Amino acid sequence: MIETPYLLFLGDAPDQLAAKVAVGIKDWRPENAVGQYRMDDCKADLGLTDMTLTEAKEAGAKTLVIGVANRGGVISQEWKKVLVMALEEGFDLASGLHNLLRDEPDLVAVAEATGQKLHDVRVPEVDYPIANGKKRKGKRCLAVGTDCSVGKMYTAMAMDAEMRKRGMKSTFRATGQTGILITGDGVPLDAVIADFMAGSIEWLTPDNDDDHWDLIEGQGSLFHVSYSGVTMALIHGGQPDALILSHEPTREHMRGLPTYQQPSLETLHDTALALAKVANPDCQVVGVSVNTQHMSEEDAIAYLATIEADMGLPATDPFRFGSGKLVDALAAM
């Protein structure tokens, strides 16, 4: 979908956090990042080679990816200069910004004149089908959360990396803009029309080898009333063979919903599994992924041990302790 490898545009990022998307690409798909492009007052640094557009082109880069959030929702004139030059040098552009490249008449005009592509990964570029529910070959794993933003993408990314390290067949399947920019492909599920949500996930995870795993990026939560429909479509469109439960134990309420409490892991287990069995009666819950970033290491270890004892499932924080236990569980299926 998006041609790789990339030159990562960091612009005038005020700090490293603003370049979150670029950091994600460099961490998870270093082979997609031939270098970084920083403007004079850029405060972020990925530790990649600083390149001019010409140098990056010579090094094989195909797409300039905007790996940084812009200020105030406006693509500034300073950025524009670089973006226009990049198009003229033969780069495609890719962006996950709210304000779309395609809404900037000057970028559109230059892209047309040069024959280069503008990828706004927040906007679907495919006419997805309505889901048909047909059983597909190959295996699929989906992380479902007690809440939004508890580490579902990270879990799937980490499992995919571990599986490839072990020589297992796996593919991370992105369903959000960051994941799409990292891998160059995927479905921007939150922007898909309601009737086609489940179908877009079927499209994303087609027939595959019997021993191949799709690691599907989760979204939302069945217990988050703003986004639960999106989660439901992932469960039924993805027809997962394996579910991972994702949790962040220190939240005081559901993200953005002060009067809503997180469900217990047991409630999530039973609810998600029953719904998943509608599409795949053989589905199993195989492990728990806990985001322990707000806990001490000692507390994290104790918490994971309690979960393992209570739930009878392997539990880990993939960022802190690796995803090996979860991959072991998939390998054992």
Distance CA 236, CA 257 (A): 25
CA atoms 97, 225, 246, 306: torsion sign:
positive
What does the per-residue mask of binding to its own copies show for 258-277, with x meaning CB under 8 A? -xx--x-------x--xx--
- Count of alpha carbons within 13 Å of 135, Cβ hemisphere only? 9
- Selected range binding its own copies among 31-39, 195-203, 242-250, 286-294, rule: CB under 8 A: 195-203
Q: CB nearer to its own copies: give 273 or 301.
A: 273
Q: In 3D, which of 83, 85, 41 has the Cα closest to residue 66?
A: 83
- Residue 233 as a binder of its own copies (CB under 8 A): the answer is yes
Q: In terms of CB distance, is 189 or 290 closer to its own copies?
A: 189
Among 225, 302, 305, 333, binds its own copies (CB under 8 A): 225
By beta-carbon proximity to its own copies, the closer residue of 259 and 296 is 259
Identified binder of its own copies from the candidate list 279, 290, 304, 315, rule CB under 8 A: 279
CB of 223 to its own copies, least distance (A): 5
Burial 168-195 (b: 16+ CB within 10 A, else e): bebbbbbbbbbbbbbbbbbbbbeebeee
Residue 305 touches its own copies, criterion: CB under 8 A? no
Minimum CB distance to its own copies, residue 260 (Å): 6
How far apart CA 121 and CA 119 sit, in angstroms, is 6
Judged by CB under 8 A, which of 49, 54, 76, 228 binds its own copies? 228
Which token pair is 13?
A: 């990022």
Residue closer to its own copies, measured from CB, 25 or 235: 235
Q: Does 222 bind its own copies (CB under 8 A)?
A: yes
Among 239, 289, 291, 323, binds its own copies (CB under 8 A): 239
Q: Residue written as tokens 């393992």?
A: 308
* Smallest gap from residue 170 Cβ to its own copies (A): 24
Q: Residue 21, CB half-sphere, CA atoms under 13 Å: how many? A: 28
Number of residues located near its own copies, criterion CB under 8 A: 42
User: Cβ of 274: how many Cβ atoms within 10 Å?
Assistant: 10
Report the SS3 class of residue 209: coil
Residue 306 binds its own copies (CB under 8 A): no
Q: Which residues contact 315 (CB under 8 A, 6 or more apart)?
A: 287, 288, 289, 290, 304, 307, 308, 325
What Å distances lie between residue 3 and 33, 122, 157, 287, CA to CA? Answer: 12, 17, 20, 35
Q: Interaction with its own copies in 130-159: which residues (CB under 8 A)?
A: 130-135
**Whose structure tokens read 């709210």?**
98
216 binds its own copies (CB under 8 A): no
> Contact at 8 Å (CB) between 236 and 279?
yes
Q: Does residue 236 bind its own copies (CB under 8 A)?
A: yes
Q: Which of 114, 208, 226, 284 binds its own copies (CB under 8 A)?
A: 226
Judged by CB under 8 A, which stretch of 49-57, 61-69, 194-202, 243-251 contacts its own copies? 194-202
Residues that bind its own copies (CB under 8 A): 130-135, 189-195, 197-199, 222-223, 225-233, 235-237, 239, 254, 256-257, 259-260, 263, 271, 274-275, 278-279
